[in-house]
Chain A
Amino acid sequence: MTPRLLNDREKKTVRIAGIGVAIYLVLFGGYEAWQHFDQKRREYRALADEARDLRQQTLPYQEKVLVVKKLMDEFHLDPARLKRDTVVSDASAAIQKAAKAGGLQLGSIRETPAHSAGKTLASVQLEGSGPAPAVLSFLAGLNIIGYPLVVDSVQFTADNRPGQVKMNLIILILDFDQQQEAGHA
């Protein structure tokens, strides 16, 4: 059975319908493609805005980094490298080493752990004696021995020996980690 041949009118109808379908497909496909690419573009714009904001946030840090570097150089100290477990013993050893190097005779040394809520790890009470210039040098050099130390109190008394001074210091060792947590809170 052979299929019936289409007459001219039917051929024209089929041709017009084909053109209509083609136009619909082109328009629909084009719209879909445009939607897809437009969505991509909006995502890209959002990403670009985010990148710009992040960049704006980092700009002030160029100056902050310079200040941090200057302070680290001034104190000979890198806080990020301090180990909480050993910083007290290391600092105490460094203090005693600096005193001996300056020609001071050390007396009793007492370490006291800090209160839990404080920003200090421990305090060190130190007694010693020596010539007045050596005592002053030791006092001036305590902040550059590489540990976060603050001299809480200092007491000088006269020694019986001429030119000699007795001193009694209370030195606080600051806790970097404690400050970090306080900063977080």
Chain B
Amino acid sequence: MKINSLLHPPPVFVEFGPGWLRAQRGLERVELPLECAPSGRLTGLGKEKIIAALKDFNQARNWQPRARAWCAISSRGVSVRRLSLPNGNKEEFHQRLLLQIEAEFPLPPGELAWGCLPLNQPQPANGAAGKQELLVAAVKKDGLAEYHEILQAAGLEPVFILAAMARRQLCAPPTGSFALLDIGTTQSELTIFENALPAASRILFWDGRNASQPEAADLNALAQGIKGIQGLEAGLNGTKLFVSGNGIAREFTERLTQSLGNGCQCERLEAGPVDSGSAALAGLAKFASPGAAPGLTIRLEPGGSNGSATRWAAWDWKKWGARAGALVAAALILPYAEALLLTPHLQRTVAAFKTEAKRLEMIDRELDFLRNLKLSQPPYVDLLYVFSQSAPPGTRFDSLSLNSHGEVSLRAAFHDGQQVADFRNQLITSGFFTNVVVEEQAPTPDRQRVTVRMSALEKPAPQLQLASAMLAMADRNKAATKAASPPPARKESP
């Protein structure tokens, strides 16, 4: 969550008014004056002050991406038109739109900052291309370009929206026709909405400093001003008029309703649970919530054909050049710095390895010695086991000799010659012995037994190991078979 907030800095909400700028970031708020020259353009010094103040307010880190700045602009100088264009491919449609804008607006599209909002899905009829209804809002580019420049320099990425569209977000389900009146200290803004879309907007010059004290405010003058707007008086009759502004009380709206006297119902626009001090800022905050997006944004370069050129122009070559230079310098210096810094550590490591290497020789010797000891162990116990398994019952061993050279000799007494032959065969088939020789076989004086002197050689070590393994396996199988077979049934005596 923290990483996400670092990579996506919270948005900033900005409202531009006549001679001032309000910015809000979370719960922090700032209002800054806009210093204008007699020509109406911002002064250079004023711009620098605003940029410095906004930078301080934004507190963006250099490595972070720019925060989105949702900007509400007043409707002063903004023209709104409904256009209807035949549908076509993207390029054709854009060309037609530019031509239409040139025809409808007093300035050519190149001198305008504008945006459009599609109002319907084009439906083709009788083989002809369908018509696309659009709502287009345009304003002279120069003023907006200054705002854009200021915000960019302060590390923000501005998106411009009509302040009236932002305030509309605060109205409960905005459908049908209604009007919004925002009371300012020197001038107020009246916007008529039809089908929830701005149809017309006018600026009223009325002293709104006493708006919080309705008894002191000249509401009749305001009502006369509203009713005197040519072309809008019919649109206001019987509609609802939402009033916003700093310190507007319920009494204000009641008295304004009376003053208007044309059936228009005035209602205070609630800014929401958190008092942002501005209905426009409160409305902008709603656009920033997930899934919400303003339908109509005003852009300096709506065609986007030279967007990349603009981005390159806005690129901070000095800053990024310094960073690239620092990276190159670091890449060149690091190998030398590594040598200087890590040599003592590496020397210690090598010394430790060399000490360890002496111990390794000892490990080698121990391993050789223990392996030699293991290989030198004759398998006497296995051989004795083979003898015990091979000898028939009643055999008597007089002597048995084994040595580490693999020589075996024995003297034993068997019942007859057949047992001697069987014994010899058993020794050979065990896999342990080779060259099994009966050196002497002679009957005893009483002819009851046969005494035998035998010799044999053990097989080489690898074959002995194999024979031992086979012997162990055979024993295990024998034990398993014995455990599985049922005990013999006892015969019952008659």
Q: How far is the CB of B403 from chain A (nearest CB, A)?
A: 4
Cβ–Cβ < 8 Å partners of A67 in chain B? 367
Nearest-neighbor residue (CB-CB) of A47 within chain B: B346
- Does B342 have its Cβ within 8 Å of any Cβ on chain A? yes
Q: Chain B, 70-107, contact with A by CB distance < 8 Å: what is the 0/1 string?
A: 00000000000000000000000000000000000000
B399 touches A156 (CB 8 A): yes
Cβ–Cβ < 8 Å partners of B399 in chain A? 155-158
A58 touches B357 (CB 8 A): yes
Q: How far is the CB of B363 from chain A (nearest CB, A)?
A: 6
Q: What CA separation (Å) do A53 and B78 show in the bound complex?
A: 76
Of listed B347, B362, B366, B396, residue having the most chain A CB within 10 A: B366
A51 touches B353 (CB 8 A): yes
Q: Chain B, 386-408, contact with A by CB distance < 8 Å: what is the 0/1 string?
A: 00000000001111111110000
Q: Chain A, 9-24, contact with B by CB distance < 8 Å: what is the 0/1 string?
A: 0000000000000000
Cβ–Cβ < 8 Å partners of A90 in chain B? none
Of listed A44, A51, A58, A180, residue having the most chain B CB within 10 A: A44
| 39-89 of chain A: CB within 8 A of chain B | 40-41, 43-45, 47-48, 50-51, 54-55, 57-58, 61, 64-65, 67-68, 71-72, 74-75, 77, 79-80
Of listed A74, A158, A170, residue having the most chain B CB within 10 A: A158
Q: What CA separation (Å) do A183 and B368 show in the bound complex?
A: 9
Q: What CA separation (Å) do A83 and B129 show in the bound complex?
A: 107
| 146-191 of chain B: CB within 8 A of chain A | none
Q: How far is the CB of B417 from chain A (nearest CB, A)?
A: 22
B339's contact among A40, A54, A158, by CB below 8 Å, is which? A40
B350 touches A54 (CB 8 A): yes
- Does B63 have its Cβ within 8 Å of any Cβ on chain A? no
- Does B370 have its Cβ within 8 Å of any Cβ on chain A? yes
B350's contact among A47, A72, A75, by CB below 8 Å, is which? A47
B339 touches A44 (CB 8 A): yes
Please report the total number of A residues contacting B with Cβ < 8 Å. 48
B340 touches A40 (CB 8 A): yes
Q: What CA separation (Å) do A77 and B368 show in the bound complex?
A: 14
Q: Chain A, 143-176, contact with B by CB distance < 8 Å: what is the 0/1 string?
A: 1000010111111111000000000001010101
A154 touches B401 (CB 8 A): yes
B369 touches A176 (CB 8 A): yes
Cβ–Cβ < 8 Å partners of A72 in chain B? 366, 370
Nearest-neighbor residue (CB-CB) of B356 within chain A: A58
Given contacts A40-B339, A41-B339, A50-B350, contact A58 B397 (CB under 8 A): no
Nearest-neighbor residue (CB-CB) of A57 within chain B: B357
Given contacts A47-B350, A155-B400, A158-B396, contact A64 B381 (CB under 8 A): no
- Does B463 have its Cβ within 8 Å of any Cβ on chain A? no
> What are 30 inter-chain pairs, A to B, with CB distance below 8 A?
A37-B336, A37-B340, A40-B336, A40-B343, A44-B342, A50-B350, A54-B350, A58-B357, A61-B360, A61-B363, A67-B367, A68-B363, A71-B371, A71-B373, A72-B366, A75-B373, A136-B384, A139-B380, A140-B381, A143-B373, A143-B377, A151-B377, A154-B401, A155-B401, A156-B401, A174-B372, A174-B376, A176-B369, A179-B365, A179-B372
B positions within 8 Å CB-CB of A: 335-336, 338-340, 342-343, 346-347, 349-350, 353-354, 356-357, 360, 362-374, 376-378, 380-381, 384, 396-404
Q: A153-B401, A155-B402 are in contact. List 17 more A-B contacts (CB 8 A).
A: A44-B338, A54-B357, A72-B370, A75-B373, A77-B373, A79-B365, A150-B376, A150-B377, A150-B378, A151-B378, A152-B403, A155-B400, A158-B397, A158-B399, A179-B365, A183-B364, A183-B365
